[in-house]
Amino acid sequence: MVGRHRLFVRRRDGRVEVRLNDMGRSVVREAFGHVVAAERDSEHEWHPGLNPPIDPGNDQDDPLATLSRQNDISTNAELAVMTLNEEFLNDAEAWAWLSTLQVALRSTAIANGLLSDEKLASCDEELLHFVNTLQRLLFELAECF
């Protein structure tokens, strides 16, 4: 996946062309799959990263706001999973990819305690590679918006 060509290209017709090879698609598949699983399983290591408080000063977080967040994360992640093998994404699908990749990146960081530059620099190589891959995907997809 990590060639020099662009990974996502916004075409004239408005669609986003996905230029990932099999390895790139497998990274995306893994990330999206974890987000969907974490939303459904409170024991999943990414689950806490998906459910932060809205008002930290209030122990009883707003249940409607929490429900809305969970529904929206699930909807984005499920749409992203459904379009995993597409060559072209429409705007809503591309946004679902961006949101889900970012949720995956943030959840990875929280689950592994990567909450400072120092921690990130000292994490193991495999984890750092996964984080850097998600960052590159996000960086390139953000160029399409």
Partner 1 sequence: MRRTTTDTDVLTEEAVETQRPWNVVVWNDPVTPMSVVVVIFKKIFGYSNNKATQLMMTVHHEGRAIVWSGLRERAETYCVKLQVSGLQSTIEQEQ
- # chain residues binding partner 1, by CB under 8 A: 37
Q: Which is nearer to partner 1, 41 or 55 (CB)?
A: 55
Phi, psi of 61 (to 5 degrees): -60, 150
Q: Decide if residue 57 touches partner 1 (CB under 8 A).
A: yes
Q: How far is CA 12 from the centre of its chain?
A: 26
CB 100, CB 76: distance < 8 Å: yes
Please select the residue that binds partner 1; options are 18, 38, 73, 89, rule is CB under 8 A. Answer: 73
Closest listed residue to residue 81, CA positions, set 33, 139, 134, 17: 33
Sites of contact with partner 1 (CB under 8 A): 52-57, 62, 65, 68-69, 72-73, 76, 95, 98-99, 101-106, 108-109, 114-117, 119-120, 131, 135, 138-139, 142-143, 145
